[in-house]
Amino acid sequence: MRLPFFTLLIGSCILLFSCKENGKEKITKIVTEWQDKEIIFPEDVVFTRYGQDTIQYKMPESDYKILLYVDSVGCTGCKLQLHKWNEFIAEVDSLTSGSVPVLFFFHPKDKRELTYLLKRDGVTIPVCLDENDRLNSINRFPSRDDFQCFLLNKDNKVVYIGNPIHNIRIREMYLSRIAPEAHIPTTPSRNTITEIDQTEFNLGTLKRGNPTTVTALIRNIGEVPLVVYETKASCGCTSVSYKKEPTVPGSSLEIEITYNAEDPGYFNRTVSIYGNMDNSPLIIRLKGNTN
């Protein structure tokens, strides 16, 4: 059964990025390279609560563990989506009776910001602040953050690579593997066909602190209900709202996107919409300037 799962993993990663051919080849190379690769953990790893207080914690022996590595590059708050990780960890604990640990290793550029985010989103699991980036120095993880998360077996070998918060298909694969009898897949087995009236919005010149909302209309012109699995904004200043229920064939789904301008100057933000449509993810772009 390993080969079909491996093929599905490559397919899921390609669907996530909606790449051109050379991009698909790069993804296939990454997944192939990391499949069954052993992750080496540094000695004397120190864990903390909220990135502050050192606690006594030893990585438990278990059939599976989930490892998330976060580097110092990019917008930490946008990259982490800690509130979604909290939901995922709760689901993992529920399905496995707490037997599958989730390990967070951070190489932060700003410890205070990370501590604030961990406290704000109520992340109570032990986390490692790897200030010398030892874990990455040993293992040399891929540079793309979507490939810095791993499902590991009891020997710390990679079963799956991919972020379950960013990709619903990978999420299903993680859960189906660690709890094959308890987990009930939620993704539809068939795709539908959609049309969208507008994928790019020019918001003109905005004032800082004044939220602006636009609405994108997705029409389901296929034969099965449209289900949106997940949305991902390129920045924390962008939020998305929609009815979280299937859209029957012949109906439309309104996606409301609110942008709260923070920094002055030109902006170019994106929202990715993942679902059971052939062209998933749909990319909606917001452009403009901020005074």
Query: 122 and 213 in one domain?
Result: no
Q: Mean pLDDT lowest for which of 163-167, 187-191, 235-239, 283-287? A: 187-191
Written as one letter, the residue type at 258 is T
**Beta strands 127-129 and 102-106, pairing class:** parallel
Residue among 41, 51, 12, 39 at smallest CA distance from 28: 12
Query: 167 and 24 in one domain?
Result: yes
Query: 207 and 171 in one domain?
Result: no
Percentage of the chain beyond pLDDT 70 is 87
Query: 277 and 152 in one domain?
Result: no
Q: What is the pLDDT of residue 109?
A: 85
Query: 125 and 263 in one domain?
Result: no
Residue 26: pLDDT above 70? Answer: yes
Average of per-residue pLDDT across 92-103: 94
Query: 211 and 134 in one domain?
Result: no
pLDDT tens track for 51-79? 888 888 888 889 999 999 998 774 466 67
In a domain, 183, yes or no: no
Average of per-residue pLDDT across 152-174: 90
In a domain, 12, yes or no: yes
In a domain, 108, yes or no: yes
Average of per-residue pLDDT across 81-108: 92
Question: Does residue 10 or residue 79 have the better pLDDT?
Answer: 79
Query: 240 and 155 in one domain?
Result: no
- Of 124, 154, 178, which closes a domain? 178
In a domain, 67, yes or no: yes
- Domain CATH code at residue 220: 2.60.40.10
Residue 263 is part of which domain span? Answer: 194-290
Percentage of the chain beyond pLDDT 90 is 45
CB-neighbour burial class of residue 165 (10 A; exposed 0-12, middle 13-18, buried 19+): buried
In a domain, 187, yes or no: no
- Domain CATH code at residue 36: 3.40.30.10
Residue 24: pLDDT above 90? Answer: no
Count of residues making up the chain: 291
In a domain, 262, yes or no: yes
pLDDT interval class at 168 (50, 70, 90): confident
pLDDT interval class at 18 (50, 70, 90): very low
Residue among 15, 10, 3 at smallest CA distance from 27: 10
Structural domain total, the chain: 2
